[in-house]
């Protein structure tokens, strides 16, 4: 076998024979009697087999080199579908295609059975997946740790325009991509009490033990031999938990009660919802993840090392937001209580081991846990956190003598009616590096949200601008564009060296290249139109400007502003004022947290407006609007290649980075956006003349709030806005009322600038040659937004990890 990525060296004959063998021995059937699931699983196993050999070699090379490893801890991963990825990364796309055809199997039909593991909410989870992809591609020794939720992010459906959530039982037919390793089970304690040992050492006697059972999926690098893994933990009750005597007495519910309680821990992914925090099960999940991961990390460390003083040289643990931050207390507990290290030595190891990424600026999104809940659930961890805090506050007091306000500001424990543990503070205190996810975000973090810490430890604060996988979001999502780029650049090297896209710049001036670029976009819009028709019944015009807003529903992201503009266009068209109107397809995608009342109302409004717009024959030639249900990674791969315009319209200072902005720009969409998150860096790179900028910046937002913001003034001053808000009032009085009187996210303040900017977009669209030129330049200048660059930045500034090359 050979392991080159684009050509596996396998023939279709070999591939077909292996598929038949898997059908026979793994599924116990034959081609004649195989179900579609049988065929799909056998195909998946055949592809997976191509990666196993590379994985074994990777593990051997890592064992031999004993390198410094990056362990990525994240409660969420949005991996996307595995079949398309693994066919590409194993270089078997073409031979699988031929083999399936020869066997009379439909590749498309089997592809449709590949279920995407939706183990995350949005950007944070997808970033984790992109970083794993980039680490493997750059031969960085890494393991991702997460939770194997039985139910991923809910599936979204609309009933009367309202979001309805359905459970996502993603492994219902089994998951051919994972390997179970019940031998590596870990025990995780909860509740109980603590007892004195010597000095600061104490013994935790848990009141309940749950087992963590790992399975892993392969994370192949592209164009290299390395295959890393992501290890996901599932909660299992011990075999003794089944209560036989209850069962014998016919009490079936009671018989399995303990099993259910234990196994609920990994039952379901929490939909991000700031209003619903404080739930015991969520804290249990976090502790479960970090305990299993840390024990596994220590097990791996001990394979090649024995001295704790080398731990922080061999292990770096990246905390993806605050969700895994309990790991800091758990590592201290292991080192002090179990291993008998003295506190200072344990603290030095711990602090050097961890690094923390923050993904927000919203103070309300910073996670805190009630002290009383933690005392009950994790009594020893709480004691440790109090001791960490005590020692930390002494340091603060030395630095700011007599400054009680400083102590209150920085303390890990928030005082109030109810004491709470501030997880972000614990993260900063217990880590050697803290980073934001875009330049503006990192700057604002240090200036506002974590200001006090940045003053205390300026050297600890970094920026690492997010990036996305060009393999998934260009090569897999947009094969037509990838082919055109490869043809122009001579080879596919750009897929692992995205800066090479800059060599496309001269092509922007080449009319023939522009024609082909447009042709690719047009075909992609046709694909989107076809899928849209099939899933929603809405007919899109593949020649219309494809105007896309895809992201989680949140007020700060201002989907409402997008809707206000659509209503503006609707009114203009109805009045016959079409001078500045070009045919547009408005495409929405995104889920709202089930408990997020306002986001759900905005969503319903969007669906209502779509209904009105699409039903009006006078408007249809100019405007169509569709809300594609159940936005996920696979849907993203369909929508992004078709997009001409990327809506990145959050209120300045609210979006940490955004990553759909990067995916869309890379695929040649022009951005209409505010100076927020990574939009700033996108604009710097693609050039202000190729970017539609509008709206208040962070300084203007602060100034406006300082003066006292009165949304009603905008309503009264702007007749067109008045008409729009009045129309909204007819559909949803509560939303209109909020806009007029509160408008927390300054939607009305940015309305005029946004609508005028959209008029500039329309005028630009009227010149296809110039639009195409700008589109090509957006792609050519977006190489910086590769997750490979992000990983290199982490390696250089934070991880200090170097590649280990795995022989072919």
Please identify which residue in 658, 668, 673, 711 interacts with ligand NBX, judged by CB under 6 A: 658
Toward ligand NBX, which CB reaches closer, 473 or 771?
473
Query: According to the binding rule CB under 6 A, does residue 681 interact with ligand NBX?
Result: no
Q: Which stretch binds ligand NBX (CB under 6 A): 373-381, 447-455, 571-579, 654-662?
A: 654-662
Please identify which residue in 18, 133, 272, 296 interacts with ligand NBX, judged by CB under 6 A: 272
Find residue 212's DSSP bridge partners.
186, 235
- 13-18 LR contacts (CB < 8 Å, sep 24+): 13/99, 14/95, 15/46, 15/92, 15/95, 15/96, 15/98, 15/99, 16/99, 16/102, 16/103, 18/46, 18/49
- Do 255 and 241 meet the contact criterion of CB atoms below 8 Å apart? no
State in angstroms the smallest separation of the CB of 573 from ligand NBX: 34
Q: Which of 503, 494, 465 is nearest to 776 (CA)?
A: 503
Query: According to the binding rule CB under 6 A, does residue 446 interact with ligand NBX?
Result: no
Query: According to the binding rule CB under 6 A, does residue 121 interact with ligand NBX?
Result: yes
Q: What is the CB neighbour count within 10 angstroms for residue 276?
A: 14
Query: According to the binding rule CB under 6 A, does residue 659 interact with ligand NBX?
Result: yes
Toward ligand NBX, which CB reaches closer, 122 or 141?
122
Q: Residue number with the shortest CB distance to ligand NBX?
A: 123
Please identify which residue in 16, 118, 123, 176 interacts with ligand NBX, judged by CB under 6 A: 123
Query: Treating both helix axes as pointing N-terminal to C-terminal, what angle do 747-765 and 719-731 enclose, rounded to 10 degrees?
Result: 110
Q: Which stretch binds ligand NBX (CB under 6 A): 119-127, 156-164, 426-434, 703-711?
A: 119-127
Toward ligand NBX, which CB reaches closer, 76 or 743?
76
H or E element, residue 685: helix 679-686
Q: Which stretch binds ligand NBX (CB under 6 A): 160-168, 250-258, 510-518, 653-661?
A: 653-661
Active site (catalytic) residues:
359, 551-552, 557, 659, 663
Query: According to the binding rule CB under 6 A, does residue 74 interact with ligand NBX?
Result: no
Three-state DSSP at 168 gives coil
- Do 1 and 10 meet the contact criterion of CB atoms below 8 Å apart? yes
State in angstroms the smallest separation of the CB of 550 from ligand NBX: 13
State in angstroms the smallest separation of the CB of 366 from ligand NBX: 10
Query: According to the binding rule CB under 6 A, does residue 677 interact with ligand NBX?
Result: yes
Query: According to the binding rule CB under 6 A, does residue 646 interact with ligand NBX?
Result: no
H or E element, residue 433: strand 433-436
Q: Which of 367, 77, 107, 377 is nearest to 230 (CA)?
A: 77
Toward ligand NBX, which CB reaches closer, 362 or 407?
362
Query: Treating both helix axes as pointing N-terminal to C-terminal, what angle do 719-731 and 597-615 enclose, rounded to 10 degrees?
Result: 100
Query: According to the binding rule CB under 6 A, does residue 127 interact with ligand NBX?
Result: yes
Footprint (CB under 6 A) of ligand NBX, residues 459-478 = 466
- Do 500 and 494 meet the contact criterion of CB atoms below 8 Å apart? yes
State in angstroms the smallest separation of the CB of 359 from ligand NBX: 4
State in angstroms the smallest separation of the CB of 188 from ligand NBX: 21
User: Alpha-carbon distance 195 to 201, whole Å?
Assistant: 9
- 537-542 LR contacts (CB < 8 Å, sep 24+): 538/610, 538/614, 538/624, 538/625, 538/626, 539/624, 540/585, 540/624, 540/626, 541/583, 541/585, 541/624
Query: According to the binding rule CB under 6 A, does residue 124 interact with ligand NBX?
Result: yes
Query: According to the binding rule CB under 6 A, does residue 90 interact with ligand NBX?
Result: no
State in angstroms the smallest separation of the CB of 271 from ligand NBX: 8
Query: According to the binding rule CB under 6 A, does residue 437 interact with ligand NBX?
Result: yes
- Do 404 and 219 meet the contact criterion of CB atoms below 8 Å apart? no
Toward ligand NBX, which CB reaches closer, 46 or 442?
442
Please identify which residue in 656, 736, 774, 780 interacts with ligand NBX, judged by CB under 6 A: 656
Burial class (CB in 10 A: 0-12, 13-18, 19+), 618: exposed
Find residue 724's DSSP bridge partners.
none
Contact pattern from residue 342 through residue 361 relative to ligand NBX, giving x for each residue in contact according to CB under 6 A and a dash for the rest: -----------------x--
Beta strand segments in 239-376, E: 315-320, 354-357, 368-370
Tokens of 623: 């405007």
Note the residues at the interface with ligand NBX (CB under 6 A): 121-124, 127, 272, 359, 437, 466, 655-659, 677
């Amino acid at each position: 076998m050979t392991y080159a990525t684009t050509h596996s060296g396998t023939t279709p004959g070999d591939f077909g024979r292996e598929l038949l063998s898997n059908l026979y021995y793994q599924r116990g059937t034959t081609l004649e009697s195989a179900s579609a699931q049988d065929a799909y699983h056998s195909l998946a196993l055949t592809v997976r087999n191509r990666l196993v050999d590379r994985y074994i070699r990777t593990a051997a090379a890592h064992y031999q080199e004993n390198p410094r490893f990056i362990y990525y801890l994240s409660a969420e991963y949005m991996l996307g579908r595995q079949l398309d990825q693994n066919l590409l990364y194993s270089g078997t796309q073409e031979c699988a295609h031929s083999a399936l055809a020869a066997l009379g199997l439909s590749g498309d039909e089997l592809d449709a059975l590949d279920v995407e593991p939706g183990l995350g909410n949005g950007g944070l989870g997808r970033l984790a997946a992109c970083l794993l992809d980039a680490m493997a591609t750059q031969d960085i020794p890494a393991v991702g740790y997460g939770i194997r939720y039985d139910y991923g992010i809910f599936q979204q459906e609309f009933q009367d325009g309202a979001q309805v959530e359905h459970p996502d039982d993603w492994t219902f037919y089994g998951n051919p991509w994972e390997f179970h390793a019940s031998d590596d089970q870990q025990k995780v304690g909860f509740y109980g009490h603590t007892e004195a040992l010597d000095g600061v050492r104490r013994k935790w006697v848990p009141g309940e033990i749950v087992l963590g059972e790992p399975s892993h999926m392969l994370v192949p690098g592209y164009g290299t031999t390395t295959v890393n893994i992501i290890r996901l933990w599932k909660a299992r009750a011990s075999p003794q938990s089944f209560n036989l005597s209850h069962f014998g007495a016919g009490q079936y519910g009671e018989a399995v009660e303990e099993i259910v309680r234990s196994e609920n821990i990994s039952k379901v992914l929490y939909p991000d919802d700031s209003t619903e925090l404080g739930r015991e099960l969520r804290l249990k999940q976090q502790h479960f993840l970090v305990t299993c991961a840390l024990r596994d990390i220590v097990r791996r460390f001990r394979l090649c090392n024995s001295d704790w003083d080398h731990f922080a040289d061999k292990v770096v643990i990246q905390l993806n937001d605050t969700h895994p931050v309990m790991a800091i207390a758990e590592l201290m507990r292991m080192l002090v209580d179990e291993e008998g290290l003295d506190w200072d030595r344990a603290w030095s190891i711990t602090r050097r081991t961890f690094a923390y990424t923050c993904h927000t600026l919203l103070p309300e999104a910073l996670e805190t846990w009630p002290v009383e809940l933690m005392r009950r659930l994790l009594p020893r961890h709480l004691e440790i956190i109090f001791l960490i805090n005590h020692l930390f506050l002494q340091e603060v007091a030395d630095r700011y003598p007599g400054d009680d306000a400083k102590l209150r500001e920085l303390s890990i424990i928030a005082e109030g009616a109810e004491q709470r543990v501030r997880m972000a503070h614990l993260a900063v205190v217990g880590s050697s590096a803290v980073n934001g996810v875009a330049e503006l975000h990192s700057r604002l973090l240090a200036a506002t949200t974590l200001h006090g810490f940045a003053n205390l430890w300026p050297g600890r604060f970094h920026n690492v601008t997010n990036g996305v996988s060009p393999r998934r979001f260009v090569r897999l999502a947009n094969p037509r564009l990838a082919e055109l780029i490869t043809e122009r650049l001579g080879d596919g090297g750009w897929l692992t060296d995205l800066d090479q896209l800059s060599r496309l710049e001269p092509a922007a001036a080449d009319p023939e290249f522009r024609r082909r670029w447009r042709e690719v976009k047009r075909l992609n819009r046709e694909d989107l139109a076809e899928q849209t028709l099939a899933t929603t019944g809405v007919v899109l015009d593949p020649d219309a400007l494809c105007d896309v807003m895809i992201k989680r529903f949140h007020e700060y992201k201002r989907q409402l502003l997008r809707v206000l503009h659509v209503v503006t266009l609707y009114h203009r068209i109805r009045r016959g004022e079409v001078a500045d109107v070009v045919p547009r397809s408005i495409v929405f995608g995104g889920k709202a947290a089930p408990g997020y009342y306002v986001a759900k109302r905005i969503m319903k409004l969007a669906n209502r407006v779509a209904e009105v717009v699409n039903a009006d024959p006078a408007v249809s030639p100019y405007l169509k609007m569709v809300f594609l249900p159940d936005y996920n990674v696979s849907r993203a791969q369909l929508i992004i290649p078709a997009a001409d315009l990327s809506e990145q319209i959050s209120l300045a200072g609210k979006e940490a980075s955004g990553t759909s902005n990067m995916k869309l720009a890379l695929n040649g969409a022009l951005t209409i956006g505010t100076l927020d998150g990574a939009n700033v860096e996108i604009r710097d790179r693609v050039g202000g003349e190729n970017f539609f900028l509008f709206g208040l910046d962070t300084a203007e937002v602060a100034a406006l709030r300082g003066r006292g913001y009165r949304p009603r003034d905008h309503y009264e001053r702007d007749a067109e806005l008045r008409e729009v808000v009045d129309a909204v009032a007819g559909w949803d009085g509560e939303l209109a009322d909020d806009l007029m009187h509160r408008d927390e996210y300054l939607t009305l303040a940015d309305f005029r600038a946004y609508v005028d900017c959209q008029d500039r977009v329309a005028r630009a669209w009227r010149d296809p040659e110039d639009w195409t030129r700008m589109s090509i330049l957006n792609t050519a200048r977006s190489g910086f937004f590769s997750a490979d660059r992000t990983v290199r930045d982490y390696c250089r500034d934070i991880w200090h990890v170097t590649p280990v090359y795995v022989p072919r």
